[in-house]
A and B are shown apart, each in its own frame.
Chain A
C-alpha cells in the first residue's frame, strides 16, 4: 500500500512526502538493528503485518491447548499428568504474553479474540489434526514444539520490541515442552511392540503436518518480502524447514523410528525431503481440516461460558471502587 502511495506522489502532497521521509528514517533504524517500540512512528503496513502475525500466534497458543487437553485425564501416570498440565498452562501463558504484545499496536484483546471467534483470524494449521493416542502427546512435544522453537528463536531478535521480549520468555519455557515430549517417545520406543507401533504411528501422522507448520515454500509465500526487509522475519520458510529436518531426523533415528518419507536422503550433511501436499495445507487453512469446526466450537463455548465470570468480576470491581469513592 505504501509503495503504491509513493509511486503516485502528487505535486504539493505534503503528507505523502512526509510519509516517504518517515518511511526512509524507519527503514534506516531497522537496518541499524534498532528496536521499534510501541509509541514510535511506524508504517501502517508494519503495524498491520505485526498485529496479524502476533495475534495469530496468540490464537495458535490458545487453540493449541485443546489437542493436548484431550489427554489430561488419560495420562498414564501422575508424573506425566502433572507435566502435561504444566505444559498446557504454559501454552495459555504464551497466548497471554502474545495478546499483550499485539495490544501495544493498538488493537484490544477483546477485538483480537472477536476476530478469532468470528473466523476472521486464523491460527496454525497443525492444531486441526486430532490426537488419537498417548503417543501423540510425545510427538506434539517433540515435533510441534520443536518446530515452534525453530520458528521462534529468530523471533527473539524481531525488530518489534514487545514481540521480541515475549518470544524470549516463550523460548525459555518451550524447551521443557520439547524435552518432555521426547521423553515420552523414548519410553514408548523402548517399550513393547505395541508401544513401539504406537510411537511410529504417531510419527507417521504428524511428520508432514509439522513440516507444513513453517508455511508455504519460499516461491509461494505472500508475506515474506516486506517481513524480511523489516526484520520481522530473519529466515525464510524453507530455510527454517530445512533446519528443523536436519535437527529432527537424527533424533528419530535415535528412537529407532522411521521418518515416513521414502524420498528422504542425506546430501552434503542436509536431509532432503520428498514433496509436501500443499493442497492439504490449503484445505486445512481454509477450514476443512479434520478438527477445524470442533476446535472453534470448543473455543466459542469456553468464551461464552466464561462471560458470567467476566461480568461478575467487572461488577465487583465497580462496586468496590464506588465504595472507596464514597468513603
Chain B
C-alpha cells in the first residue's frame, strides 16, 4: 500500500535578531519535528538564519487574488492617510 501524501509545511527564517521571520519556501514532512529538521537542512546550509518557524500549509488562510480589487481598494481612496496629503509651509522646516 503506498503511503499517503506527506504533509506540506511553510518555512519562515529570521536571518538575524531585529528582523522578522520571512517566508523561505516549503517542504514535506510527516510531523513538526521532522519538518523543523528538514527546514534546517534545506534552507539554512549557509548560515541563513538563527530562528526557524514551520507552519502546516493547510493552516494558512489566504485572500483570493481575484478579490484584490474589493479587498484593497479602500486604501487607494484614502490619500489623507499619507503625510504628503497635508500642506505645511516650507518655513516650518522638516516635519
When distances are taken between beta carbons in the complex, the residues of chain B under 8 Å from A320 are 31
Min CB distance B5 to A, Å, is 5
17 A–B contacts, CB within 8 A, in A order = A41-B66, A89-B41, A90-B45, A103-B8, A109-B6, A110-B2, A166-B25, A173-B46, A310-B6, A313-B6, A313-B31, A314-B6, A314-B30, A316-B30, A317-B30, A317-B31, A321-B31
Min CB distance A324 to B, Å, is 11
* The residue from B5, B27, B29, B64 contacting A108, defined by CB atoms under 8 A apart: B5
The interface-forming segment of A46-54, A92-100, A180-188 is A92-100
When distances are taken between beta carbons in the complex, the residues of chain A under 8 Å from B6 are 109-110, 310, 313-314
Min CB distance B23 to A, Å, is 9
Scan A159-181; emit 1 where CB is below 8 A from any B CB, else 0: 00000011001000100000000
A313 close to B34 (CB less than 8 A): yes
How far, in whole Å, are A100 and B57 apart by their CA atoms in the complex? 12
What is the predominant secondary structure among interface residues of chain B facing chain A? loop
Q: Which 3 pairs between the two chains have the least Cβ-Cβ distance?
A: A313-B30, A317-B31, A317-B30
Interface residue total, chain A, C-beta cutoff 8 A: 28
When distances are taken between beta carbons in the complex, the residues of chain B under 8 Å from A169 are 25
Q: Which of B5-27 contact A (CB under 8 A)?
A: 5-8, 25-27
How far, in whole Å, are A110 and B3 apart by their CA atoms in the complex? 10
